[in-house]
């Protein structure tokens, strides 16, 4: 099992869009995947076509269910033609009140998600985190093997990523297995403006060893989420194939040690706003 948390305490940078893009790539390549939606906003849940979940990740967080993550998950409502449809441990409306309740546990509640992963056997688990460094994100950091920091190329993004990395490093020191590893930084919504190039260069300069392929600004990415469709299922929509190829490349790199896949059919793409 490979588990990856998609993180940044800054809101609106593209954590959920990247989660869904990677889920779409995994579906296309036939990988059984579980998406854990840890964000009370529930955008990953609805992006996967699940609008009225009966249960969700809150059940394992509040009930301390060892190994229970699979039992609170349901199959996403993406079209069956889109490959191996992922499962989702959904966000439910009451997730927003869960965090302050967890904070009152005198023994600490940072490992509830981790407990629920015990003996679960998904080839791939992707955890979409909320835009904060509260107990929900901390639970993700205590549960996963890898983190992917998503950022936009904007003012303060270098500082925001630094804060996120500091938090990950702190968690590493408290875990006996010294995880989670930082898989890298994915710059998302990279457009053609001078401002984007400037901030992207700043990020590359500050974190040269963490660089991953960029995800460019494309309306197809927003459309896929809004229509609760995988990006690979958008057909001939302008920019969809290019965006899908970027997520394919990102997933291949994240999994490179676990599942080696031929990249030979991937093409070079321009970095235009489409």
Q: Which residues bind Mg ion (CB under 5 A)?
A: 15-16, 43
- 155 is an interface residue for ligand ATP by CB under 6 A: no
- The residue from 29, 112, 189, 232 that contacts ligand ATP (CB under 6 A) is 189
CA 210/CA 243 separation, integer angstroms: 21
Residue 54: CB atoms within 10 Å: 10
- 25 is an interface residue for ligand ATP by CB under 6 A: no
Residue 39: CB atoms within 10 Å: 26
Which H or E element spans position 184? strand 181-190
Helices (H), the chain: 15-28, 43-47, 57-63, 95-102, 112-117, 135-143, 157-174, 194-206, 219-226, 240-254
- The residue from 112, 214, 218, 237 that contacts ligand ATP (CB under 6 A) is 218
Helix (H, G, I), strand (E, B) or coil at 232: helix
Query: 15 or 29: whose CB is closer to Mg ion?
Result: 15
- 221 is an interface residue for ligand ATP by CB under 6 A: yes
- The residue from 49, 67, 123, 131 that contacts ligand ATP (CB under 6 A) is 131
- 240 is an interface residue for ligand ATP by CB under 6 A: no
- The residue from 23, 50, 215, 254 that contacts ligand ATP (CB under 6 A) is 215
> How many positions of this chain bind ligand ATP (CB under 6 A)?
19
- 28 is an interface residue for ligand ATP by CB under 6 A: no
CA 225/CA 208 separation, integer angstroms: 30
Q: Which does 4 bind (CB under 5 to 8 A by kind): ligand ATP, Mg ion, none?
A: none
CA 194/CA 112 separation, integer angstroms: 44
Q: Which does 188 bind (CB under 5 to 8 A by kind): Mg ion, ligand ATP, none?
A: ligand ATP
Contact (Cβ atoms closer than 8 angstroms) between residue 34 and residue 75? no
- 214 is an interface residue for ligand ATP by CB under 6 A: no
Please identify, among the stretches 7-15, 53-61, 72-80, 174-182, the one whose residues bind ligand ATP according to the rule CB under 6 A. 7-15
Residue 12: CB atoms within 10 Å: 12
- The residue from 3, 25, 43, 249 that contacts ligand ATP (CB under 6 A) is 43
CA 37/CA 225 separation, integer angstroms: 14
Q: Name the pairing type of β-strands 73-75 and 87-89.
A: antiparallel
Please identify, among the stretches 37-45, 110-118, 197-205, 206-214, the one whose residues bind ligand ATP according to the rule CB under 6 A. 37-45
Query: 66 or 165: whose CB is closer to ligand ATP?
Result: 165
How many Cα atoms sit within 13 Å of 164 on the Cβ side? 31
CB of 243 to ligand ATP, least distance (A): 7
Query: 218 or 232: whose CB is closer to ligand ATP?
Result: 218
Residues making contact with ligand ATP (CB under 6 A): 11-17, 39, 41, 43, 131, 188-189, 215, 217-218, 221-222, 225
């Amino acid at each position: 099992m490979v588990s990856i948390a998609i993180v940044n305490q800054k809101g609106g940078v593209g954590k959920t869009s990247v989660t869904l893009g990677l889920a779409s790539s995994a579906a296309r390549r036939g990988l059984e995947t579980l998406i854990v939606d840890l964000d009370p906003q529930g955008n990953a849940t609805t992006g996967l076509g699940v609008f009225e979940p009966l249960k969700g990740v809150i059940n394992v967080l509040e009930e301390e269910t060892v190994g229970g993550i699979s039992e609170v998950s349901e199959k996403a409502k993406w079209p069956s033609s889109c490959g191996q449809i992922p499962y989702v441990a959904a966000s439910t409306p009451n997730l927003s009140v869960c965090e302050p309740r967890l904070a009152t546990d005198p023994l600490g509640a940072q490992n509830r998600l981790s407990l629920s992963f015990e003996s679960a056997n998904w080839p791939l688990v992707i955890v979409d985190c909320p835009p904060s460094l509260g107990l929900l994100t901390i639970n993700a950091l205590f549960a996963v093997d890898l983190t992917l920091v998503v950022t936009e190329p904007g003012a303060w993004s270098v500082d925001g990523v630094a804060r996120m990395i500091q938090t990950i490093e702190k968690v590493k020191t408290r875990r006996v297995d010294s995880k989670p590893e930082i898989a890298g930084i994915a710059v998302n919504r990279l457009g053609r403006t001078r401002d984007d190039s400037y901030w992207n260069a700043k990020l590359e300069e500050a974190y040269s060893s963490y660089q991953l392929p960029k995800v460019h600004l494309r309306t197809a990415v927003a459309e896929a989420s809004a229509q609760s469709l995988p990006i690979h299922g958008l057909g001939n929509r302008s920019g969809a194939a290019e965006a899908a190829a970027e997520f394919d490349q990102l997933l291949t790199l994240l999994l490179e040690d676990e599942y080696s896949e031929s990249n030979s059919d991937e093409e070079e793409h321009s970095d235009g706003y489409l």
